[in-house]
Chains A and B, each alone.
Chain A
Amino acid sequence: MITLEHVSFRYPSGLLALNNIDLNIQGGDFVAIMGENGAGKTTLAKQMNGLLKPSQGRVLVDDQDTKKVSVAQLARKVGLVFQNPDHLLFSETVKDEVAFGLKNFGYQPEVVEKQVERTLEALGLTEYKDTSPFLLSGGERKRVALASILASEPDYLILDEPTIGQDYLQKERLRNFILQLYSQGKAVVMITHDVEFVAESNPKVILLSKGEIVATGSADSVLSKDELVTRVSLVKPQMSRLFGTLSRYGLPRDVVDVHRARMLLEEKLSEAKATVP
């Protein structure tokens, strides 16, 4: 379990990036952290694997205070995938890139090879295993970056803007992959601006604004509220905008995803059909 207790963080420049954050993340959780630019989302992610230590309060990863353990030790448990793959890709081949973390953690060569193959397979990258990561497209590079973290099977996975630069098919695959991970008992934390992706995946949503948590709840309860969504510079998902105008027909306002929308509309339409002679 990752526990943040009254965490505040001030950058050396004096900027208060996080203000009194309390948060719990455990296996099987799927959490989306959303908020305006500069709200402190990435700072919060860096607190979870010890890259940044809280100025006040404390962060515990499986009951270990992040101030007392090295980032390398924490990285075995907490995998943080950075937003821009260009900040981490450096190897000659995709295979070596994915093996880098495993080697740092001191795994045996056979284990490294097995894990690399499994991860590449899972992310549809096997055909590129001997290609240079720099020859791949932006979306593929992003998947290589994800693979390089996933290969060591961290218990907690933190994704910073995973959907940027991915086409719909890849987003769909990513969603299924995340689903698979948290149903295996791992925790997935996703930092994102992508309201539609969040609406369709239905995680627990945490809204962050100016370094403070302003709302926590299910995607449909948080993303359907105008005042909350506007406060963090987002727009409501399309389904929510549609159902906001349909409430006079007795439909609920808090619908954000296509699946639930379809169920409700089908029900309503069949009722209507029944009453019309």
Chain B
Amino acid sequence: MLTPALLFASVWVMIILLAFQIPLLFMGRVARRWALSLRAGIFLSALIFVVNYFTGSIFSAIALTLRFLVLLTAFSLFFMTTSPDDLGLALDRIGAVRWLSRKWLGYPNALSFTFTTAVRLVPTLAVDAQTVVDAQRSRGLELDKGNLFRRIRNYIPILIPLLLIAIRRSLELAEALESRGFPGKEGRTSLFQLKLKASDYAVISVSAVAILLSIWVFLHYKVPVF
């Protein structure tokens, strides 16, 4: 999805890609959550549209806005259907990641662990953010008051506690990990073993064909914007 979307700035290509993505959203049962992230992306897509409308043509503006939606949908599809734990396990199985992690951090599974931890801290931090906002509003803070500069300043009482909570939590996590003997010995095994199934091979081959096909088209034809 990503390769053709980035190679071609064409309205039709984007529409075809979206047409492929939307049934996948329903198959993955994430259509509702996708709609929510779409709502969050409205402002950015409007910005992309306006900027490209004034720097290019109406068609390139439509194409680039659609490209943004295709990318957003592709990432939503991936992250909403793949649990971070599985992703961490998968990363841990990739030789290159283990090699890089050993070279860089000294342990083969440190890098994939960092990734899993980072992803997992996001929801916790979101809860903290809500509590901090509530606490400061209870002290009379009005976030949407004043001019633009003032509004940005209004976020200082939110960001400082949040940052400190995050730092404190990561230090605590580090201590907890050390006291439990992280990183352990080489050759650590996992309770859940990931295995590629026939459907996984099918997805990989379809993606590979799509990537090669779009590169081939890109090199031999010029696809019009509209």
A associates with B? yes
Residues of A that sit less than 8 Å from B by CB? 46, 49, 51, 70-72, 75-76, 79-80, 82, 84, 86-90, 100-101, 104-105, 134, 148-149, 152
When distances are taken between beta carbons in the complex, the residues of chain A under 8 Å from B161 are: 86-90
When distances are taken between beta carbons in the complex, the residues of chain B under 8 Å from A105 are: 140
Whether the pair B135, A82 counts as a contact (CB closer than 8 A) is yes
From residue B39, how far is it (CB to closest CB) to chain A in Å? 14
Q: Which residue of A lies closest to B162 (CB)?
A: A87
Whether the pair A72, B142 counts as a contact (CB closer than 8 A) is yes
Q: Give the complex CA separation of A71 and B137 in angstroms.
A: 7
What are 11 contact pairs spanning A and B, CB under 8 A?
A: A51-B134, A70-B142, A72-B141, A75-B140, A79-B138, A86-B161, A87-B135, A88-B157, A90-B156, A100-B139, A101-B140
B136 at the interface (CB under 8 A from A): yes
Whether the pair B139, A87 counts as a contact (CB closer than 8 A) is no
When distances are taken between beta carbons in the complex, the residues of chain B under 8 Å from A104 are: 139-142
From residue B123, how far is it (CB to closest CB) to chain A in Å? 13
From residue A38, how far is it (CB to closest CB) to chain B in Å? 14
- Known interface pairs A72-B141, A75-B138, A84-B131; 18 further A-B residue pairs with C-beta atoms within 8 A, sorted by A's residue number: A46-B134, A70-B142, A72-B137, A72-B140, A76-B140, A86-B168, A87-B128, A87-B135, A87-B161, A87-B165, A88-B132, A88-B135, A88-B139, A89-B161, A90-B161, A101-B140, A104-B142, A105-B140
Whether the pair B160, A49 counts as a contact (CB closer than 8 A) is no
From residue A260, how far is it (CB to closest CB) to chain B in Å? 36
B16 at the interface (CB under 8 A from A): no
Whether the pair B160, A90 counts as a contact (CB closer than 8 A) is yes
Interface majority SS on B: helix, strand, loop or mixed? helix
Q: Give the complex CA separation of A149 and B132 in angstroms.
A: 15
Q: Which residue of A lies closest to B165 (CB)?
A: A86
B164 at the interface (CB under 8 A from A): yes
Q: Which residue of A lies closest to B141 (CB)?
A: A104
Q: Which residue of B lies closest to A88 (CB)?
A: B135
When distances are taken between beta carbons in the complex, the residues of chain B under 8 Å from A80 are: 138
When distances are taken between beta carbons in the complex, the residues of chain B under 8 Å from A148 are: 139
The 8 Å CB contact of A51, one of B132, B137, B156, is: B137
When distances are taken between beta carbons in the complex, the residues of chain B under 8 Å from A89 are: 161
Interface centre among A46, A51, A76 (most CB of B within 10 A): A51
Q: Known: A87-B165, A90-B156, A104-B142. Is A82-B131 also a contact (CB below 8 A)?
A: yes
Q: Give the complex CA separation of A90 and B164 in angstroms.
A: 9
Whether the pair B132, A87 counts as a contact (CB closer than 8 A) is yes
From residue B176, how far is it (CB to closest CB) to chain A in Å? 18
When distances are taken between beta carbons in the complex, the residues of chain B under 8 Å from A149 are: 138-139
When distances are taken between beta carbons in the complex, the residues of chain A under 8 Å from B139 are: 75, 88, 100-101, 104, 148-149
When distances are taken between beta carbons in the complex, the residues of chain A under 8 Å from B135 are: 82, 87-88
Q: Which residue of B lies closest to A84 (CB)?
A: B131
From residue B13, how far is it (CB to closest CB) to chain A in Å? 37
Q: Give the complex CA separation of A100 and B165 in angstroms.
A: 20
